[in-house]
């Protein structure tokens, strides 16, 4: 297989999908299945049309995710760090993580709605919920797999508990932490959009609200697709523009992953 064969295959696949889509949409003319040119026209329109302002919705969503992701990641790091030094805490926390990691955030929505109300706080809690458990799992696994020689070397240099955690355990497990953040991000992003669609109107309307409005208020399916395309683009941008860049400048540079 030549070097470019996989890339060509992917490209060919995408082209075939596009052609099929366009042909199907044009011949059948179903409302929920608009042709691609309409979708892209709509996408451009949503950028410029003051009534739609899709970027504002997207910005709100990204802000929520960013807030939740940062708090969730810090919490996960803190709680996992306590696990590294306390056996009792570790036993309890492992149980908590296994229980809550299995619970989809959206299932908690009804409870959040009556306890904290249908507002941004509920969304934030939901995002934190989807980040903190999978990240804790990754970090704890990473801590357990930290080579003993790094820890002994650190103790030998005179590092205390905090020094060992931030000077040895965290960099030694950075690959796991990063993969934890990736899983957390994916879950948070999905959880957030689901919640927004169910909630409808939180204080700051996100991209999920946009999709819901397009479906129910504006009855405009090309807009629904435009939002979906945007969500995909954000995902790709985060993967290649954020995670891969961080990876290249850290664990890959350090020779810790190939």
Q: Which C-beta is closer to other proteins: that of 61 or that of 173?
A: 173
- Closest approach of Cβ 78 to other proteins, in Å? 21
With CB under 8 A as the contact rule, the residue among 78, 150, 204, 243 that binds other proteins is: 150
Q: Can you tell me the distance from the alpha carbon of 143 to that of 246, in angstroms, rounded to the nearest whole number?
A: 20
Question: Distance (Å, rounded) from C-alpha 80 to C-alpha 74?
Answer: 10
Work out how close the CB of 166 gets to other proteins at its nearest, in angstroms, rounded to a whole number: 12
Binding of residue 250 to other proteins (CB under 8 A): yes
Among 29, 85, 145, 152, binds other proteins (CB under 8 A): 152
| Residue in 6, 29, 147, 241 binding other proteins, rule: CB under 8 A | 147
Q: How many residues bind other proteins (CB under 8 A)?
A: 21
CB 147, min distance to other proteins, A = 7
Q: What is the rounded distance in angstroms from the CA atom of residue 179 to the CA atom of residue 185?
A: 10
Q: From residue 165, how far is each of 38, 183, 255 by CA, in Å? A: 53, 22, 21
Site string for other proteins, 171-210 (x = CB under 8 A): xx-x------------------------------------
Kindly indicate which of the ranges 17-25, 37-45, 87-95, 152-160 contains the residues binding other proteins, using the contact rule CB under 8 A.
152-160
Instruction: Give the residue, chosen from 109, 168, 188, 230, that forms a contact with other proteins under the rule CB under 8 A.
Output: 168
From the list 213, 204, 207, the residue with the least C-alpha distance to 193 is: 207
d(CA 185, CA 231): 13
**Which of the stretches 51-59, 85-93, 96-104, 158-166 binds other proteins when contact is defined by CB under 8 A?**
158-166
Segment interacting with other proteins, rule: CB under 8 A, options 52-60, 85-93, 213-221, 249-257: 249-257
Interface residue list for other proteins (CB under 8 A):
147, 149-150, 152-153, 155-159, 163, 167-168, 171-172, 174, 250, 253-256
């Amino acid at each position: 297989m030549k070097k470019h064969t996989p890339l060509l295959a992917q490209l060919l696949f995408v082209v075939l999908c596009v052609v099929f889509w366009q042909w199907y949409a044009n011949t059948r003319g179903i409302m929920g299945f608009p042709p691609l040119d309409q979708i892209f026209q709509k996408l451009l329109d949503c950028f410029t049309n003051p009534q739609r302002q899709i970027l504002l919705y997207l910005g709100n969503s990204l802000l929520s995710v960013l807030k939740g992701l940062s708090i969730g990641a810090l919490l996960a790091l803190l709680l996992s760090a306590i696990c590294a030094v306390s056996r009792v805490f570790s036993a309890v926390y492992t149980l908590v993580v296994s229980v809550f990691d299995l619970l989809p955030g959206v299932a908690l929505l009804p409870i959040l709605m009556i306890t904290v109300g249908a507002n941004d706080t509920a969304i934030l809690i939901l995002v934190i919920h989807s980040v903190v458990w999978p990240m804790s799992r990754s970090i704890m696994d990473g801590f357990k797999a930290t080579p003993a020689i790094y820890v002994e070397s650190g103790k030998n240099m005179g590092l205390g508990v905090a020094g060992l955690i931030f000077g040895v355990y965290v960099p030694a497990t950075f690959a796991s932490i990063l993969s934890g953040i990736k899983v957390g991000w994916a879950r948070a992003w999905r959880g957030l959009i689901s919640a927004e669609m169910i909630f409808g109107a939180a204080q700051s309307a996100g991209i999920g609200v946009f999709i819901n409005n397009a479906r129910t208020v504006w009855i405009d399916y090309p807009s629904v697709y435009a939002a979906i395309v945007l969500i995909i683009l954000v995902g790709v941008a985060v993967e290649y523009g954020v995670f891969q860049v961080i990876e290249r400048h850290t664990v890959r540079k350090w020779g810790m992953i190939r």
